[in-house]
Each structure stands twice: as structure tokens, then as C-alpha cells.
Amino acid sequence: MGSTGIHPQLLADCHYLGGLPACDVLLNRNAAVPWFILVPDTKLPDVLDLPEAQSRAVVCECATISAFIKGELGYCKVNFAGLGNVVPQMHLHIIGRSNSDACWPLPVWGALPEGEEYQAAVLQEWQDKLVGFAGLTPAVMEVVNRDI
């Protein structure tokens, strides 16, 4: 699908890391928690509406990102959700959580304070790791300093 097919609000809130066979991979700009968003290549609104083969592929990619968060980033808990109440395009949230994060034990929605954005080196490191770990086809990332 590529970033041109992703809802503008998702692109405003996230870094576009690249693509997997069934989903595009984004990372929320707020570095308070590792909050990945997968955007399946579909016009359907809800993950439970996907045809069986596509559903399996999407869930498998979500599980791979969860394994990355746990194995490579060292988080023992992952939250997984598909809401779509604000952004109508199907997108799935995979969020690393720990009892020391800024809003534990509450959900991140509405409780996550403004946080620092990711440094370019961290974005590049995670993108490179996802290439090897998940088979990510990397995007050319533009890191924008929002304070300028």
C-alpha cells in the first residue's frame, strides 16, 4: 500500500517504517511507550471482517511485531487493539507496556502524557532490526523536528 494509501491522521501521528506483505508498519511519534500501528491493505473497516486468509496474514504480522516488542525491546506485556473510532481506516495497535510506563496500569488512550519523540538513530535501529526480524521492506524515513 505504501504511505500514500494511509489515512493522513495516522501519518501525522506516526513514523512510517515500511511494509510487510499484509500491512504497513507505523510507529507512534510519542516515545513514552513503543506503540506500533499496522495498517492492513484493505478498505474494510474492521479486522473481523477480513477474509480468512487475509485475517491470518494480518494477525500473524501483528504477532510478529508483538514478538519484536517482547524479544528485541524487552517488554513483557503487549496491548493489542483495533478501534477505528477516530480514524476510519482499519489499523491495529500493538503497544509494549511495563509497570513503569507513564500511564500504567491504565490504557494508553487518554492517559499517555506528551512524551519525547524518537531520535533518528533509534528509528533507524528499530527499522533495521525489523528488516531482519520481520522481513520489513523499509521506507525512507523523514524525521521532522516539530519545534522548528
The pLDDT, as a whole number, for residue 148 is 40
Q: What pLDDT, on a 0 to 100 scale, did the predictor assign at position 85? A: 87
Note the pLDDT of residue 143: 60
Q: How many CA atoms lie within 13 A of 82 on its CB side?
A: 19
pLDDT computed for residue 141 by the predictor: 74
Q: Write out the chain's pLDDT in tens, 148 residues.
A: 676 799 999 999 999 999 999 999 999 999 999 999 999 999 999 999 999 999 999 999 999 999 999 999 999 999 999 988 889 999 999 999 999 998 999 999 888 898 899 999 999 999 999 999 999 999 987 665 544 4
> What pLDDT does 84 receive?
85
How much is the pLDDT for 1?
A: 66
**How much is the pLDDT for 53?**
97
Q: What is the 3-state secondary structure (H, E, C) of the chain?
A: CCHHHCCHHHHHHEEEEEECCCEEEEEECECCCCEEEEEECCCCCCHHHCCHHHHHHHHHHHHHHHHHHHHCCCCCEEEEECCCCCCCCCCEEEEEECCCCCCCCCCCCCCCCCCCECCHHHHHHHHHHHHHHHCCEECCCCCCCCCC
24 half-sphere exposure, CB direction, 13 A CA radius: 23
Q: Which CATH number fits domain 3-136: 3.30.1490.20, 3.40.50.300, 3.90.550.10, 3.30.428.10?
A: 3.30.428.10
